[in-house]
Amino acid sequence: MAFLIGKTKEGKDWTPTFVETIDIEKCIGCGRCYKSCARKVLAPEDFEDEETESLRMIMTLSNGGNCIGCAGCGVACPKKCFSFKPMEI
Ligand code: SF4
Ligand code: SF4
């Protein structure tokens, strides 16, 4: 199995890992991931929690195709909501 490989500025290989999912059960809507993404991939959204019957904010993948696989959002997230995957080619 082969994955998409990128290059660093020094010309070294690196494997981008693209956002697969955001776990909305764990998300606290803090917005840290949103601020960390330079590609406008993420968007906050209201979510009606049926269990607690309350409205809360969650983060969604609104423009997933624009992700460059830097994983910065995952580093910023205090709740480890993100899962990532390299791209098979
Ligand atoms: S991996 Fe990078 S580009 Fe993709 S959503 Fe996260 S911060 Fe944005
Ligand atoms: S950083 Fe994590 S907890 Fe905060 S909004 Fe983003 S996904 Fe949710």
The CA angle 3-22-37, to the nearest 5 degrees, is: 75
CA of 72 from ligand 1 middle (Å) equals 6
Measured between alpha carbons, how far is 70 from 76 in angstroms, rounded to an integer?
12
Query: Residue 66 corresponds to which tokens in the numbers above?
Result: 């624009």
The torsion of the CA quartet 64, 66, 15, 37, rounded to 10 degrees, works out to -90
Q: What is the pTM of this model?
A: 0.94
CA distance 63 to 39: 9
CATH code reported for the domain at 16-85: 3.30.70.20
Task: Tell which atom from ligand 2 comes closest to the C-alpha of 34.
Answer: 6
Residue ID of nearest Cα to ligand 2 atom 2: 77
Give the position, in ligand 1's atom list, of the atom nearest the Cα of 69: 1
Q: Per-domain residue ranges for the chain?
A: 16-85
Q: What is the pLDDT along the chain (89 residues), one digit of tens a residue?
A: 899 999 999 999 999 999 999 999 999 999 999 999 999 999 999 999 888 899 999 999 999 999 999 999 999 999 999 999 999 99
Lining residues, ligand 2, CB within 6 Å: 22, 27-33, 59, 76-77, 79, 81
